[in-house]
Structure 1
Amino acid sequence: MLELKNISKHYNVAGTDFTALDNISLKFRKNEFVSILGQSGSGKTTMLNIIGGLDRYSSGDLIINNTSTSTYSDRDWDRYRNHSVGFVFQSYNLISHQSILSNVELALTLSGVNKKERRQRAKEMLEKVGLGEHINKKPTQLSGGQMQRVAIARALINDPDILLADEPTGALDSETSEVIMELLKEIANEKLVIMVTHNPELAERYSTRIINLKDGHIIDDTMPYEDSTKNEVELTSNNKTSMSFFTALALSFNNLLTKKARTILTAFAGSIGIIGISLILSLSTGAQDYIDRIQADTLTMYPITIEDNAIDLSSLLELQENNNDDKEDKDKKDDKLVTTKNVTTQMLTGMQAFTGTTENNLNNFKKHIENNKDQLKDLTNAIDYGYNINLNLYNKIDDKITKLNPFEYIDNPAEDSGFATSSSNQPLNAWEELLGNKNLLESQYDLVEGKWPEKKEELVLFVDKDNQLSDLSLYQLGILNPNDLKEKQEKIAKGEEVNEIDKDISYDEILKLTFKYIPSVSFYENKDGSWISKEDDQELLEKLYDDALELKIVGIVKASEDSSVESESGKVGYTKELTDYIIENVNNTEIAKEQLDNQEIDVFTKKPFLKAGEEIQPAKLEELPENIRTYVSTLPEKEQKEALINFAEASKNTLEDNLKTLGIVDKASPNFINLYPKDFESKEKIDDFIKDYNSNIDDENNQIKYTDFVGLIMSSVSSIINVISYLLIGFVSISLIVSSIMIGIITYVSVLERTKEIGILKSIGASKKDISRVFNAETIIIGLLSGSLGILITGLLILPANRIIKSLTGVNNFAVLPIKASLLLILLSVTLTLIAGIIPSRIAAKKDAVEALRTE
C-alpha cells in the first residue's frame, strides 16, 4: 500500500549540508497503528511530512499502490493530501477565525462537495469525536483536548486511507492524552495511522508497530512488513481539488473581522485615493456639465446663422491678427531703428470685402441639410429655418382695434439726422419662433406659471430673472396703450418732464392676454382686375378682427438659475406650427396664387416688373396723386421730367417687394438658417460640413458665406478644457499609483500574518491557485470596502463643497458624482487592489508548507 524506498532527505542550513533521512526503506500495511520514536533531530517529522506530501524527498522514491510518486505534479500531490491523507498536529493548527464546523468543512470544500452535504458530514464527524454541541464555537473557545479532537475530525472528514499524527498529545495532559490515543487506536482498526511521538509509554500501550529512528536511520522496527499486493485498495483519487471563490471570500472575510479596527483603517487608507479621484471626478464632471451648459446656452444665443443676404466680416476681424504675424519672420537689422509696417493695402482690401454683400442660395443648402440630417443629428441641438412672415397682430385697447405687431409707434430720430440704416428703419419686433428643441428650452428656462405652448394658438412670454418686464414690453403687449408713446416722445423732444411707469401685473392678467392674427393679404380687394389695399377701411378691419385666429399667452418663463442665457424680457415665443399655418394660409389666398402663377406681372399695377438693365420710364403726370401733381406741374420742364422719373422709380415694385408686402413665403427658400451646435467641438464639425458643401460648388457665387463670431472669439476654449483635463488625469494617475503600492504592502503584511493558515490549507490539499485565490479574495474585499467608503465620504464632502462653490460663484450643485461613475470607481478600486495583490498572493502560494506550519 505505502512504501518508502531508499528515501533520503538533505537540507542546506546556512551553507552547511544536513541529512535528515539517509536511505530509509519502509513498507506499511493498509491498517495498523505505527508509532515512530526517536530523539529530536532524528528525522521523525521529516519522514511524516514526506509520507504526507508536505515535503519532497531528495532521492529514492515514495511508492503508493505500486505507483512511483517521482513523476507527481503539484496537482497530484494536492489530490493526495486532500483525499488520501489526514494530518493531526501537536499544536492543532486550526484556523482561529473560523468556527470548528467551518474548519472541518474546509477539506470537503476543496473536494468539491456541495454545501448541504459537507455541512451534514462535518456535523456527523464532530458528533463522533464528541463535539456535537460545540459546532458554532471558535477554536479559542475550546480546551486543548477539544481542539485536538477537532483536528482529528478535520483529518478524517474526507475518509482518508492514512492518518498522520505529529505529537498529537504533546500539548495535552495525561488524562486527555489517553482519550486522544484511544480515538487514534480505534481509527487504526480501519486505516493506517502513523504517529510521531516522544512518549515511548503511550507508543507501547496503543501502537501495533514501533519504529525507532536515530540520525536519519532506522535502528529498530518491531513488526516489519513484507511485500503483499493482495486486496490492496486504491490510495489516490482522480478527483481534482479546488477551493471555490466563495469559500476564499468567507475565509478572508472572517479573518478581516478578527481585525476590525485595522481593517477599517486599512480600508480608509485605501479609500483616500478613491476619495481624491472621486472628488476630482465630481468637480470635473460638474465643471464639464457647467461648460456644456455654458456652451449650449452660448450657442443658443449665438447659433451659426446663415442669411440669404450675408456680409462676411471674418476677413476684417482677422486682419489685425494677420498683420501681427507678418513681422515675426523678419530679421531686425537694428534694435534702435523704427521700422515701417505696411497695413493700408490690406486694410483697404479688407474694407472693400466688408462693404460687399453676398447672396446665399439657401434653397440648395436647405436641401443639402435635409439630405444629411443623420450627419448633423449628433452635432446639433436644433436646426431652425427662418422666414420673413408678416405676423400682423391686433388687440382691442380702449374699445379700439390697435395694431401691436409690427410695432410702429416710435419715430426714429436717425431718419432726420441722416444716420438712418436699414436696421434702424425696421419696426420693433417682440415676437419670434421658439427654438425647435423643446428639451433644450426647458433645460435653460424655468416655467414660472402656466405651461409651454403646444398648439399654434398658444404663446409664451419671457420675463427676466427678476420677473420684470420693460415698460416698452407693456406697450408692445397692449397692456399699456401704444398710442401714448407718440405723445411721450414729443414731450421728451421738447424737454418736458414725463411720468415713469410703475405698474405691477399679476400672472393671471398676463395669462388672459389674447391677440388676433390678420394676414396682410386679407386687406386686399380685387377691383376691376387690380388688387387694391383697404387697410384703412375700419368696417373691413372690424369684420376681419372678429373672424381672425386668436392667439393666447399660456405660459410665463424665465432663464433658470443655473443657465447662463439671459431672458429676452418681453419676448413672446410662438410655435413652428403657427409659422407653418401662416405660410400655408397666406400662400393659398387668391392674390398670392395670382402673383405666384404670374411672376412677371405686378398684381397691384397689372404692369410687368422692371427687368434687369431696363430703363425706367417717367411716370405720367395724371398718374400722380392730386397734391403731388399740382406741385410738379409748377416746376420747370427739366425738373418736372426728373420728378416724374424719381416718382416712377420710387413707386416701381419688384417681385420680391410684392412677396414681402403680401407675406408670401416659399418654404423651400428660407431667409435664414440657424444651426445650434451642441458644443464648440460640434460647431467646428458643422463648420467643416459647410466647407465640404462649398468645396463641391464650382461657382463661388453659390457658395455659403457667413460670419462665425463665436468661432473667432471662443476658438481657444476647447484647448483650455483639454489642458485642464490632462492635468486632472495626471493627478489621478499619481493617486492610483500610491493607492496600489499601499494595498500591495498591506496584502503582503496579511500574507506574513496568515503564513500558518497557508500551511494548514496546503496540508489539507489546497493548491497554489487556491492559496492565491484566498488572498485575491481578501484584496477584493478590501478594494470593495475602500471603494464604497471612498464614495460615501465623497458624497459627504460634496455637500459642503457645493455650498462653498455656491457662495463663491452662485452656481448650484456644481460638484456631482454620477451613479455610473461611482460604480465604476468601486470597480476600479477592486481592480487596483486585485492587481496590487498579485505579487503578495503569488508569494503566499509559493510558501513551503512545512515552513509555514512552523510559523507562530
Structure 2
Amino acid sequence: MLELKQITKVYRVANGKQTVLDDITINFRTNEFVSILGPSGSGKTTLLNIIGGLDQYTSGDLLINGKSTKDFKNRDWDRYRNNTIGFVFQSYNLISHQTALANVELALTLSGVSREERRQRATDALKRVGLEEHINKRPNQMSGGQMQRVAIARALVNNPDILLADEPTGALDSDTSVQIMALLKEIAKERLVIMVTHNPELAETYSNRIVNLLDGRIIADSNPYQEQDEKSSDVQFKKTKMSFATALSLSFRNLLTKKGRTFLTAFAGSIGIIGIALILSLSNGVRRYINKMQEDTLVAYPLTIDRSASGNTFNFSISNDNQQQRNSQKNKKKIGTNNVLKNMVSTQVVDNDLKAFKSYIEKHSKKFKSLTKDIQYSYNLKPKVYSADTSKGVKTINPSNLSDELKDTTANIRAIASNIEVWQELSSDKKMIDSQYRVVSGHLPKKYNEVVLMADDNNKIADYVLYSLGIKNVDELKSKNIKKAKSSSYAYKDLIGRTYKLVINSAVYQKESGVWIDRSNNNDFMKKLINSSENIKIVGIVKPKEGTGSNSETGVGYSQDLTNYISQKINSSQIVKEQRANKKHNIFTGQNFSNGKKEFSVNNLSKEQRSKLASMAPEELAAYVNRYSENAKATYDDNLKKIGVIDTASPEKINFYTSSFKDKKSLKNIIKDYNKEMKRKNQQSKVLKYTDMMGALMSTITTMVNGITFVLIGFVAISLLVSSIMIGIITYISVLERTKEIGILRAMGASKKDVVRIFTAETVIEGAIAGLLGILITLLLNAPISTIVKNTVHIDNIAVLPLWAAIVLIVISILLTVFAGLMPSRVAARKDPVEALRTE
C-alpha cells in the first residue's frame, strides 16, 4: 500500500546543503506496527513527515497503492493527510481553547461530515481510548496520558489507513507509556502504525517490525516487506474544506480565551463607527425635520402653474456675459457693466397654455391622481360679496376695499391692503379638506352659499380679515385712535351665523338706451340690488391641522359649488345671452367691435351717425366719444371676461397638492415629459414655464446638510482606518500566538485556504463586535442628545439612526477588519506546517 523509492531529502542551510534522508527505499504492509529507531538527527521525524505529507521529498518517489505522488499538488497532499493519515505527536498538539470532544471533531469538519455524525464519531473515538467521561474537559484539565489519548482519538476519528506517532510516549511516565503502547498495538491490528521512538525496549515489546536509521539511511529492518508487482491504481481522496461556520466557531472560541483583549480591540474599532453613526443620526434627524417641514408646506405651497409666467428667471447675480466680460477685463484698468436693468427689461412674460395642459391632465388622469391629493383649477371669477347692512352705505366685502378705507394711512399700508385676498376657494375634495383643517366650531360648507372662517393654529384670525369683513371697525387704524385700539376676542357664536350678500357679477349691469352700463358705483342701484340678493352665511370656524404648514393662513373659505353657482347665473343672464347672440356687436357701446380703428374720427361715421351727433348735448356727445374709444380697445372675449364668464376648459391657475416631495418630483418629471412632447411636436407655445421656489429652497437646504454630513464623515473615517490598522496588528499577533494550531490544522489536512478562512473568520467576528458595539453606544448616546436638543430648540428626535445605516456600518466595520486581516491571514497560510508544529 505504501512504498518509498529512493527518497532523498536535502535542506538548504547557510553553508550549503544538508542531506537528511539519503536514498530511502522501504515498503509497508497494510496493517503492521512499525517502530523507527535511531539517534537524534538520523532523519526519523523527517521520514515520518514525508510519509505524512507534511514535508516534501527532494528526489525519489512516494507511492500510494502503486500511484506515484510526484505530480501531487498542495490540495492532493491536503486530502491525503485528511483521508489517509492520522498524526499522534509527542507534545499532544491539542488546541487549548477546545474541549476534548471539539479537538477530536476537528478532523471531521474538514471532511464535510454533518454535525450530528461528527459528534457521534468523536464520542465513539474517545470511548475507544477510555475517555468517555472526559469529553467536555479542556487540555489544561487533563493529565499527560489523557491528552495523548485525546490525540490518538483525534488521529483515529477519520478512520485513516496510516497512523503516524512521533515519540508518543516521550513526555509520559512509564506506566502511562505502557498503556499508550498497548493501545497503539491494538490499533495496528487494523491499520498501518508507524512510530518514531528513542525507546528500543518499548519498540521490541510492542512492535512487529523495527527499522533502524543512521545518518539518513536504513541500516536495519527486522521484518522487511518483500516488494510485489502491483498495478498502479487511481487513488481518489475526498475533497477537504473547512466550512466558514467551523472557522467562525474556532475563532470565536479562541477570542473567548482573551475576552479583555477582544473587548478592547472591538471598542477601539468601534470609535470610528460611533463617530459616523452619530453624524448619520443627526443628519437623519435634521433631514427628517426638513422633510417634515417640506411635507407641512405642501398644503400651503402647492406646485402652481399660472397662465402668466416669466419667460426667464431674473437674477441679480452677474450673468454669463458679464462674467465673461469681467474675466476679459481682469487685467485691464477698466470698469465693466453689470446689466441688471437690461436683464429685467428683457425678461419676458409668457402665457402658459393651460387649456392644452388641462386636456393633457384629463387624458392622463390616472397618472396625475396617483401623485396628487387634489388638483385645483382657479379661474378669474371672484364672488362679489357685500355687507348686508346698507343703512350707512354700500360696503364691499369681497373684493376687499380695505385699501380705500385706509386712505388716511401711509401709501405702503394701502398698497399692502390692496394686495390682500381674504376670500379663497377651498378644495373640492373632501379628503383633502379633512387633511388640511380641523373644525373648531360649526361645520364645513354644505351648500354653495355657506362659508367658513379660517383661523391660524393659535386659534386667531388676522385683524385685516376682521376689518375686511366689517367685524372690526377700520376707524381704529386712524392715527388718533390707534393707541386706544385693543386686541379683541370673539365667542364662536358671535361669528358663526353672520350673513353677507352675494351679488352675481352680471347683475351690476343695467341696459339703457340699447347699451349695458355698469351701475356698481350707483349707491341707490346697489342698495336695491344688495337687498334683493342671496345671503352668504358663515357656518363654521376651522383651523389648520398640526403639520399642514398653513399655520398663518387666515381668511374666508368658500366651496367650489359657489364658483359653479355664480358661473351658471352669469351664463344664464340676459347680458351674456345678448353678447353671445351677436359676437360682432359690443353690448357696452352699442357699436360693432373696431376693425383696427383706434381713434375717433367723424370721417369714419355714416351720415346718420353724423346727424345724430349734431343733435347731441355736449355731455351726451362726450359720453359717445368715450364709448367709441372704449370700443376701439374692446374684443368679444374681453367683454365676456368683464361680465364674469369663464371658460372651464381654460383655467387661470392650476394647483397640484401632493403628499410627499417624492411625488412632487415625479409630478415635475411628468410636466417635463409634457414639455418635451410639445417641443417634439414643434408646439413651442404649449411649453409650460413655472418656478417651484419652495422646492428649490428646500432642495438647497437638503444639499447643504448632505454636504456637511459627507465632510464630517470624511474626517471621522480616518479613525476607522486607524482602528483597521490596529486590528490588522492584533490579527498578526493572533497568528503568532496560534502558530502551533496552524501546524495542527495543516497536519489534519487543512489547506492554506482553510487557514486563511480561520483568520478571516476571526476578523469578521472582531469587525462584527466592533460594529455592533458602535451601534449600541450610538443608540445610547442618541437618547440624551435628542433630549438636550428638544429642551433647547424644541425639535423632537433629532438624533435617529436609520436601520439601513446601522446595517451598512456593521458591514463596513466587518469589511474593513477583513481587509486589515488579509496580510496576517496570508502570513499564517504560508507558514511551514513542520516548523509550525515545532513552535512552543
TM range (shorter): 0.7 to 0.9
Counterpart of 1:472? 464
Candidates 605, 622, 647, aligned match of 1:666: 647
* CA 373–321 in structure 1, closer or farther in 2 if over 3 Å, else same: farther
Superposition map of 1:80-99 within 5 A = 80-99=80-99
For 1:200 and 1:44, locate their aligned partners in 2 and report how far apart those are by CA, in whole Å. 14
* CA 350–785 in structure 1, closer or farther in 2 if over 3 Å, else same: closer
For 1:306 and 1:102, locate their aligned partners in 2 and report how far apart those are by CA, in whole Å. 74
Structure 1: which amino acid aligns with 2:486? E
Counterpart of 2:721? 737
Judge which range, 798-807 or 134-143, deviates more.
798-807
Shift of 1:166: 0.9
Structure 1: which amino acid aligns with 2:819? I
For 2:215 and 2:820, locate their aligned partners in 1 and report how far apart those are by CA, in whole Å. 46
Judge which range, 812-821 or 33-42, deviates more.
812-821
Counterpart of 1:628? none
For 2:83 and 2:639, locate their aligned partners in 1 and report how far apart those are by CA, in whole Å. 102
Shift of 1:237: 4.5
SS at match of 2:130: coil
For 1:120 and 1:133, locate their aligned partners in 2 and report how far apart those are by CA, in whole Å. 14
For 2:430 and 2:42, locate their aligned partners in 1 and report how far apart those are by CA, in whole Å. 90
Counterpart of 1:789? 773
Once the two structures are superposed, what CA deviation does each residue of 1:477-511 show, in whole Å capped at 9, x if it has no partner? x7xxx25525545xx266586441332667x999x
Counterpart of 2:837? 853
* CA 470–527 in structure 1, closer or farther in 2 if over 3 Å, else same: closer
* CA 763–578 in structure 1, closer or farther in 2 if over 3 Å, else same: farther
Once the two structures are superposed, what CA deviation does each residue of 1:201-243 show, in whole Å capped at 9, x if it has no partner? 211221111122222122222211112468x998954321121
Counterpart of 1:389? 381
SS at match of 1:87: strand
For 2:10 and 2:446, locate their aligned partners in 1 and report how far apart those are by CA, in whole Å. 96
Equivalent residues of 1:83, 1:237 under 8 A apart: no
**Do structure 1's residue 502 and structure 2's residue 488 form an aligned pair?**
yes
* CA 526–851 in structure 1, closer or farther in 2 if over 3 Å, else same: same
Equivalent residues of 1:131, 1:146 under 8 A apart: yes
For 1:590 and 1:168, locate their aligned partners in 2 and report how far apart those are by CA, in whole Å. 119
**Do structure 1's residue 431 and structure 2's residue 414 form an aligned pair?**
no
Judge which range, 492-501 or 779-788, deviates more.
492-501
Structure 1: which amino acid aligns with 2:749? G
* CA 236–325 in structure 1, closer or farther in 2 if over 3 Å, else same: closer
Equivalent residues of 1:805, 1:814 under 8 A apart: yes
**Do structure 1's residue 139 and structure 2's residue 123 form an aligned pair?**
no
Counterpart of 1:485? 473
Shift of 1:155: 0.7
For 1:219 and 1:500, locate their aligned partners in 2 and report how far apart those are by CA, in whole Å. 125
* CA 384–496 in structure 1, closer or farther in 2 if over 3 Å, else same: closer
SS at match of 2:404: coil
Structure 2: which amino acid aligns with 1:668? A
Structure 2: which amino acid aligns with 1:23? D
Once the two structures are superposed, what CA deviation does each residue of 1:830-850 show, in whole Å capped at 9, x if it has no partner? 222223323322222222111
Superposition map of 1:382-461 within 5 A = 385-391=377-383, 405-408=398-401, 411-413=404-406, 425=418, 428-433=421-426
SS at match of 1:33: strand
SS at match of 1:825: helix
Shift of 1:49: 0.8
Superposition map of 1:568-607 within 5 A = 568-571=552-555, 594=577, 598=581, 600=583
For 2:106 and 2:639, locate their aligned partners in 1 and report how far apart those are by CA, in whole Å. 96
Structure 1: which amino acid aligns with 2:583? E
Once the two structures are superposed, what CA deviation does each residue of 1:584-603 show, in whole Å capped at 9, x if it has no partner? 86687566984795472789
Counterpart of 2:6? 6
For 1:831 and 1:614, locate their aligned partners in 2 and report how far apart those are by CA, in whole Å. 83
SS at match of 1:388: coil
Once the two structures are superposed, what CA deviation does each residue of 1:794-841 show, in whole Å capped at 9, x if it has no partner? 222223333454566554333332111211221222222223323322
Counterpart of 1:630? none
Superposition map of 1:149-168 within 5 A = 149-168=149-168
Judge which range, 248-257 or 700-709, deviates more.
700-709
**Do structure 1's residue 39 and structure 2's residue 39 form an aligned pair?**
yes
Candidates 789, 805, 826, aligned match of 1:821: 805
Equivalent residues of 2:290, 2:702 under 8 A apart: no
**Do structure 1's residue 567 and structure 2's residue 546 form an aligned pair?**
no
For 1:795 and 1:140, locate their aligned partners in 2 and report how far apart those are by CA, in whole Å. 41
For 2:200 and 2:446, locate their aligned partners in 1 and report how far apart those are by CA, in whole Å. 105
Counterpart of 2:621? 641
Q: TM-score, normalised by structure 2?
A: 0.80
SS at match of 2:170: coil
Structure 1: which amino acid aligns with 2:276? I
For 2:578 and 2:69, locate their aligned partners in 1 and report how far apart those are by CA, in whole Å. 107
Superposition map of 1:161-200 within 5 A = 161-200=161-200
Shift of 1:782: 1.5
Identity %: 46
Superposition map of 1:254-293 within 5 A = 254-290=253-289
Once the two structures are superposed, what CA deviation does each residue of 1:665-713 show, in whole Å capped at 9, x if it has no partner? 3233221345789499999989977986896798988776667877999
* CA 737–351 in structure 1, closer or farther in 2 if over 3 Å, else same: closer
SS at match of 2:473: helix
Superposition map of 1:370-385 within 5 A = 385=377
Equivalent residues of 1:465, 1:559 under 8 A apart: no
For 2:441 and 2:24, locate their aligned partners in 1 and report how far apart those are by CA, in whole Å. 100
Q: Which runs of 5+ in 1 are unaligned?
A: 619-635
Structure 2: which amino acid aligns with 1:501? S
Judge which range, 679-688 or 33-42, deviates more.
679-688
SS at match of 2:18: strand
Counterpart of 2:213? 213
SS at match of 1:111: coil
* CA 78–450 in structure 1, closer or farther in 2 if over 3 Å, else same: farther
SS at match of 2:78: helix
Shift of 1:48: 0.8
Shift of 1:156: 0.7
Counterpart of 1:625? none
Structure 2: which amino acid aligns with 1:411? D
Superposition map of 1:199-238 within 5 A = 199-228=199-228, 237-238=236-237
Structure 1: which amino acid aligns with 2:730? I
Measured on the aligned residues, the alpha-carbon RMSD in Å equals 5.2
**Do structure 1's residue 71 and structure 2's residue 71 form an aligned pair?**
yes
Shift of 1:70: 1.0
Superposition map of 1:621-700 within 5 A = 638=618, 641-646=621-626, 659-660=640-641, 663-673=644-654, 678=661
Equivalent residues of 1:451, 1:556 under 8 A apart: no
For 1:456 and 1:70, locate their aligned partners in 2 and report how far apart those are by CA, in whole Å. 101
Q: Which runs of 5+ in 2 are unaligned?
A: 520-524, 602-615
Structure 1: which amino acid aligns with 2:191? K
Counterpart of 1:754? 738
Structure 2: which amino acid aligns with 1:40? S
For 2:96 and 2:677, locate their aligned partners in 1 and report how far apart those are by CA, in whole Å. 77
* CA 699–446 in structure 1, closer or farther in 2 if over 3 Å, else same: closer
For 1:132 and 1:714, locate their aligned partners in 2 and report how far apart those are by CA, in whole Å. 73
Equivalent residues of 1:280, 1:728 under 8 A apart: yes
Counterpart of 1:104? 104
SS at match of 1:411: helix
Equivalent residues of 1:88, 1:163 under 8 A apart: yes
Structure 2: which amino acid aligns with 1:177? S
**Do structure 1's residue 363 and structure 2's residue 355 form an aligned pair?**
yes
* CA 420–175 in structure 1, closer or farther in 2 if over 3 Å, else same: closer
* CA 727–822 in structure 1, closer or farther in 2 if over 3 Å, else same: same
Structure 2: which amino acid aligns with 1:600? K
Once the two structures are superposed, what CA deviation does each residue of 1:644-666 show, in whole Å capped at 9, x if it has no partner? 54477789986566655665432
Structure 2: which amino acid aligns with 1:641? L
Q: TM-score, normalised by structure 1?
A: 0.79
